Structure 1
Amino acid sequence: MSPSLHHSNERMSQIAVHNGTVYLSGQVPSDATQGMRGQTEQVLARIDELLAEAGTSKQQLISAQVWVTDMGEFADMNAAWDAWVAPGRPPVRAAVEAKLAKPEWKVEIMVVAALPES
């Protein structure tokens, strides 16, 4: 069975669903004028929207990859993350400092989630 791809263009898809697993592409902030916490909150809200569209939620997260442009702002990213992540259900996660595609972006997050069993 082929993956189901959503919000696709010639370069990438925002959502891929395959064998009961939802994969999101890296999500970035829509308003880069905000600080690290605000940008992270935007990204997490977008992840919520995409997961809901795919039929799942943050309660079903399996893994997350987080890229931040400055580890000096890591605590601000974590404050937004900690307020968002489902209590008692944190996914496996990696977080690294990296240069992102646009210099105004401070954070990018990519997640994988399971579809709920029906």
Structure 2
Amino acid sequence: MTRASDWLDGYIAAWASKDESDVREIFTDDAEYWFRPDDDRPVTGIDAIVKMWGDPEPSDPDHDLSVLIENDTLAIITGTVNYPGHEKYSNMWEVWFADDGRAKKFVEWYMSPRKRGGQDSAASGA
């Protein structure tokens, strides 16, 4: 396994468990968590990230995520996240690594598929 795939496995486990120790295993104490690259400010620090991860989800997400590219300091992860009955998102994540393999900066780039004639563009083949 690679640093990025190990981190992604940890992220998915922490996302499912919402367990504080799982979240602390993947983010540094001073990590920045950006929901969007143009946010005014990130969620900063592990305690704030743990608290934020405790917020309820709209439904249990289905996801198809994989590492696109990586080096020792940065991974780009892409894929989809579907919240059944709520929304489906296309994603690209930046994961900036500390020396110990935890994320020191995480940036989500996500969008909802374009709707055409009552269907999303992925379902209609567009």
Larger strand share, 1 or 2 = 2
Using structure 2 for the length normalisation, give the TM-score: 0.27
Name the structure, 1 or 2, with higher relative contact order (CA <8 Å, separation 6+): 1
Task: Kindly name which structure, 1 or 2, has the bigger radius of gyration based on alpha carbons.
Answer: 2
Larger helix share, 1 or 2 = 1
